[in-house]
Amino acid sequence: MGIDGDKLLNSARERPDQTEFYMPSPAGYRPGQCKYVVVLGTVMSGLGKGIFSSSLAKCLQDKGLSVAPIKLEGYLNVDSGTLNPYRHGEVFVLDDGTECDMDLGTYERMLDQDLSRLNFCTSGQIYRRVLDRERTGGYLGRDVQMIPHVTGEVMNRLRELAVASQADVVFVEIGGTVGDVENAYYIEAMRQLAFEEGEHSVCFVALTYVLEPNILGEQKSKAAQLGIRQLMECGIQPHIIACRAENPVTKQVREKIALFSNVPMERVFSMHDCESVYLIPDMLRAAGYDRAVIERLKLEERVDAEEERRRREVWSDYTRRLKSVARHVTVGITGKYTAVRDAYASIIKALEHAGVHLGVKVHLSWIDTTEVTDETAAQCLAQVHGMIVPGAFGTRGAEGKIACLKHARSTGLPCLGICYGFQMAVIEFARNVCAMEGANSDEIDPDCRYPVITLLPEQKKIEGLGGTMRLGGHNVVVREGTLAYRMFGPQVRLRFRHRYEVEPRYIAPLEAAGMIFSGRSPHAEIMHLLELSQNVHPYYFATQAHPELTSRPMSPQPMFLGLVYAALKRAYPDYDAPLDYRPATETQREISVAES
């Protein structure tokens, strides 16, 4: 028999000074109404918990259930904004301006949802809320402890998301692995959550790793067994085990893991490598992950079989196109973090989305701009059909990016500049077309003669770094008669993360020389989009925004569509299919598939 969560909650609320239970929760919350799937990692980090969790969430979403993800990070940073891409991959920015972990991008793309600050939590946020509450007397004189107050705050965050999203199931991903010191209180909070919410309210999924050393030629499960045992020592009995491996995990290995974990053999699954993350939902469905979660959480009555059939047909249409590409192009990524592919995770996915839509496989060429010069740019870009100059900060690699942009502009190589790449495109054009010798950015050379890129006015009074940039979604007014207008119409909403802008006094001379600023802020003279006329260049486009953050499998971002299309025409001169910059939405695709 499960506990009565409502009775516990009422006791904690009515007589907080006479009970050991501490259950902070938002108004309207009822224990057991929302279900939780908790995904934890063992053995090692980097196994793809975010990809797995988002794929499993999509399987339930396709069944007609509403889902909401949350990522719990152990580090003490308040957000991901100050993290170096070399250490933690890209910083993903949500529409509300939250700077968060790249896994939030995986959730947005897989679930086709715009997430918010409620979907991301760090230890820094948890401790800040606890300490702020203590300073204002919020604990009624009690000594504030890790249990129940800090763990209670973790559960409070999950419950806030449950109420705000009205989700049937909240997916909780805990970063890192079991055994990490900073994760201990998160794991304890999940144990308490299962106790307080009652039977069949929480499903624990352990993602583990099965080793397959080349020297042995067989799979070894001991590390997986020990990792799961460590989880059980924390008081958590997994209900499902997902075994990551390079190749399908053998029946013998799964039997060993089942024996040592008390998990039935039919709920120990193989999750081996596949060509694309967008094939994983079908892999999970075929293995029975979704059925196992539904059974554990007693959600059978909420499943909509007709909705599932319709949504699976749409997704299957996408994966069929993903696997049946007929052409190939190469796009160069000209950046300074090229040694860490995760630094450009969303760009990689945006190119994949555009490629699937156009029936082309996009191969990537990684070009470190710290070594590129005007003399070597042509050689570095000789084998690519298009290039991207991605976002960055600081001076390292800047001149190499400018050299690449000069080559692309002067030779007709399709090019897309993103954020810092937008700024470098302005600098290159000012130097080599407008004859502004030494033109630069205040960030790179504060004493340059032509500071065509300068600090945003509101940034000049800011001293701190964390969360102080121009962040999140902003509307952009688009100039009629431009390529941008063909892409978006009169207005578009894009996501930003920057401190610098085009210096307003140089806008007129730049435009007089042929640069087209086709998108700007509706409230200030801040340039957001630039392009060259297609009469002089097949595709030369740049944006101060980060368009990669809003690309989705079913609705590829138009700027990436334009780049891949131009690259395709460069690689295959006889290719003449027209391009629709605004492809059908997922809903329109569902209608089309249903009609066919």
Domain ranges, ordered by start, for the chain: 22-318, 325-571
323 closest CA partner among 359, 349, 284, 298: 359
Q: For each of the chain's 596 residues, which pLDDT tens digit applies?
A: 356 666 666 666 655 666 677 888 899 899 889 999 999 999 888 888 999 999 999 999 999 999 999 999 999 988 888 887 767 778 999 999 999 999 999 999 999 999 999 999 999 999 999 999 999 988 887 888 999 999 999 999 999 999 999 999 999 999 988 988 999 999 999 999 999 999 999 999 999 999 988 888 889 999 999 999 999 999 999 999 999 999 999 999 999 999 999 999 999 999 888 888 999 999 999 999 999 999 999 999 999 999 999 999 999 999 999 988 889 999 999 988 777 778 899 999 999 999 999 999 999 999 999 989 999 999 999 999 999 999 887 788 899 999 999 999 999 999 999 999 999 999 999 999 999 999 999 989 999 999 999 987 665 666 555 556 789 999 999 999 999 999 999 999 999 998 889 999 999 999 999 999 999 999 888 999 999 999 999 999 999 999 999 999 999 999 999 999 999 999 999 998 899 887 555 444 444 444 44
**Joined tokens for residue 414:** 């399709």
Superfamily of domain 325-571: Class I glutamine amidotransferase (GATase) domain (3.40.50.880)
What's the pLDDT at 451?
94
CA distances (Å), origin 481, targets 327, 414, 485? 31, 20, 6
**Joined tokens for residue 81:** 């904004």
Residue 258: CB partners within 8 Å, gap ≥ 6? 241, 264, 265, 268
Which amino acids are annotated catalytic? Answer: 419, 546, 548
Q: How far apart are the first and last CA of the chain?
A: 50
Cα–Cα distance measured from residue 578 to residue 575, given in angstroms and rounded to the nearest whole number: 9
Largest CA distance in the chain: 80
Residue 386, class by beta-carbon neighbours within 10 Å (0-12 exposed, 13-18 middle, 19+ buried)? buried
Instruction: Determine how many CB atoms are found less than 10 A away from the CB of residue 583.
Output: 17
**Joined tokens for residue 489:** 């119409």
DSSP 570: H
Domain over 22-318 is classified CATH 3.40.50.300? yes
Cα–Cα distance measured from residue 415 to residue 356, given in angstroms and rounded to the nearest whole number: 19
H or E element in which residue 502 lies: strand 500-502
What's the pLDDT at 589?
45
Helix, strand, coil tally for the chain in percent (to 5): 45, 20, 35
